[in-house]
Amino acid sequence: MKVTKAQAQENRAHIVATASALFRERGYDGVGIADLMAAAGFTHGGFYKHFRSKADLMAEAAATTISRAVADSTGSDLAEFFKSYVSRAHRDARGVGCTMAALCGDAARQSESVKSTFAAGIDSLATTLEREVATLGDVDQREARAKVIGSFAQAVGAVVLSRACPDDSALADEILEVCRREILASLLPPMHSRQATAT
């Protein structure tokens, strides 16, 4: 039976969604095309009807999840964003968590198209969050962007370091707590920061 154009697009989106979760769980090198297609419910040979290569899928999957994260962060409360990001819940949710925290290390060893996807996503998220920083006080655009890049780099690093520790490690929680407190203190006015870390 011939697959309609709409069905083909739906199948492709399903493969991308499946790949996004698997890549975040296992890393790029931990997922083969055969395993991926089986998890999505398709045959191995069907992969090349949708993608030229695994690298193309990696770039598309990253672009999809990163753009969704940027959209979700638009207009968000800055303190809530970082409290949620630098948390045990996010740390433990590899398959549905932030693509950048899960895969930046892997992306550094991938093709230019994958690196470019990550760079565009980081830039887009920084631009979105810097608008929120600018609303908190007398901060110019350059300073707001610097604060966001520094804070986001620390947030990603905190999640990565915490994940590298055993699941029940006290250090895993300590890393998240210390970094979350430092991020909020650096971004928010003193009174707002005390209220944010207290909740």
Domain limits of the chain? 5-198
Q: What is the pLDDT of residue 149?
A: 94
pLDDT 10s digits, 42-87: 998 889 999 999 999 999 999 999 999 999 888 878 889 999 999 9
Query: Among candidates 123, 199, 186, which has minimal Cα distance to 155?
Result: 186
Helices (H), 86-169: 88-92, 99-107, 112-134, 141-164
pLDDT 10s digits, 118-137: 999 999 999 998 888 877 66
Helix axes 190-198, 170-187, angle to 10 degrees: 150
Q: What is the pLDDT of residue 131?
A: 83
Instruction: pLDDT band for 193, please (50, 70, 90 cuts).
Output: very low
Question: 5-198 belongs to which CATH class?
Answer: mainly alpha
**Percent share of the chain, pLDDT over 70:** 92
User: Which token pair is 106?
Assistant: 């892997």
pLDDT 10s digits, 6-31: 998 999 999 999 999 999 999 999 99
112-117: long-range contacts (C-beta < 8 A, 24 or more apart)? 113/55, 113/56, 113/59, 114/55, 114/58, 114/59, 114/62, 116/59, 117/59, 117/62, 117/63, 117/66
One-letter identity of residue 18: T
Q: What is the pLDDT of residue 99?
A: 95
**For residue 46, what are the CA distances in angstroms to 50, 157, 190?**
7, 37, 56
Examine the pLDDT at 192 and tell me if it is beyond 70: no
Q: Model-level pTM?
A: 0.86
